[in-house]
């Protein structure tokens, strides 16, 4: 096999894995982790169940990978915001909230995160990994808040605790955006930020 074919095959494999993971988010978030099956995910992806097993051994493996990739991307993006010295704390929190709330899939992803941590049928190692990554991902937000406190822009309090409150509030609001069942109340990001950065 020529190197070009190996590269092409690898690219096709990566694209197929991404398709499976995207389909899994939709299926698991609407059916729940317990009710969703490999065949449901295969059908949503448009491939045979047999072909699914070329990419993942089980539904738990798919679930774990969706969460791992999502949390790593989330942490990476938050770290980039933390390193941005051109924006003040208010602007960083505003951008974070707007970006998270604007993503049409984040309601489903948030449901999956909560399901991973609260559903007893989810293997312990997945539950622990999700919790550990969530905790690690609070660190950049805590540093953003601490920097804002030192500049007098953010309310007093434990930065990690405030980071936890802020992230939980934004993710909770995301849940209200489930398609077809949206709560008919607009979300004013400036009002949210003022809870942490009063004028």
Residue-wise pLDDT for 124-134, tens only, equals 999 999 999 99
Examine residue 1 and state whether it is found in any structural domain, yes or no: no
Overall average pLDDT of the 170-176 stretch: 91
Examine residue 16 and state whether it is found in any structural domain, yes or no: no
Q: What is the pLDDT of residue 12?
A: 86
Q: Is the pLDDT of residue 59 over 80?
A: yes
Radius of gyration of the chain from its Cα atoms, rounded to whole angstroms: 19
The pTM (predicted TM-score) of the whole model is 0.84
Tokens of 110: 């948030």
Q: Are 122 and 128 in contact (CB under 8 A)?
A: no
Q: Is the pLDDT of residue 4 over 80?
A: no
Q: Are 99 and 57 in contact (CB under 8 A)?
A: no
What is the span of the domain harbouring residue 142?
A: 60-194
Exposed, middle or buried: residue 188 (CB in 10 Å: 0-12, 13-18, 19+)? exposed
Q: Is the pLDDT of residue 147 over 80?
A: yes
CA 199 vs CA 97, 166, 194: distances in Å: 18, 17, 7
Sign for the CA dihedral angle at 197, 144, 83, 108 comes to negative
Overall average pLDDT of the 63-74 stretch: 92
Q: What distance in Å separates the CA atoms of residue 114 and residue 127, rounded to the nearest whole number?
A: 10
Q: What is the pLDDT of residue 179?
A: 78
End-to-end CA separation in angstroms for the chain:
64
Overall average pLDDT of the 45-66 stretch: 91
Domain count, the chain: 1
Tokens of 24: 């899994």
Confidence band of 39 (pLDDT split at 50, 70, 90): very high
Examine residue 93 and state whether it is found in any structural domain, yes or no: yes
Examine residue 125 and state whether it is found in any structural domain, yes or no: yes
Q: What is the CATH number of the domain that holds 156?
A: 1.10.357.10
């Amino acid at each position: 096999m020529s190197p070009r074919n190996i590269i092409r095959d690898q690219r096709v494999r990566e694209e197929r894995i991404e398709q499976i993971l995207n389909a899994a988010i939709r299926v698991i978030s609407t059916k729940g982790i317990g009710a969703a099956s490999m065949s449901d995910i295969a059908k949503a992806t448009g491939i045979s169940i047999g072909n699914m097993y070329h990419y993942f051994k089980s539904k738990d493996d798919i679930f774990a990978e969706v969460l791992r990739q999502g949390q790593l991307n989330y942490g990476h993006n938050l770290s980039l915001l933390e390193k941005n010295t051109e924006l003040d704390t208010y602007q960083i929190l505003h951008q974070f909230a707007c970006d998270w709330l604007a993503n049409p899939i984040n309601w489903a992803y948030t449901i999956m995160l909560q399901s991973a941590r609260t559903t007893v049928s989810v293997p312990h190692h997945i539950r622990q990994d999700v919790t550990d990554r969530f905790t690690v991902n609070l660190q950049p937000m805590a540093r953003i808040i601490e920097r804002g406190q030192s500049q007098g822009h953010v309310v007093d309090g434990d930065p990690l605790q405030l980071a936890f409150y802020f992230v939980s509030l934004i993710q909770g609001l995301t849940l209200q955006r489930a398609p077809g069942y949206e709560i008919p109340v607009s979300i004013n990001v400036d009002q949210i930020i003022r809870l942490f950065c009063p004028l």
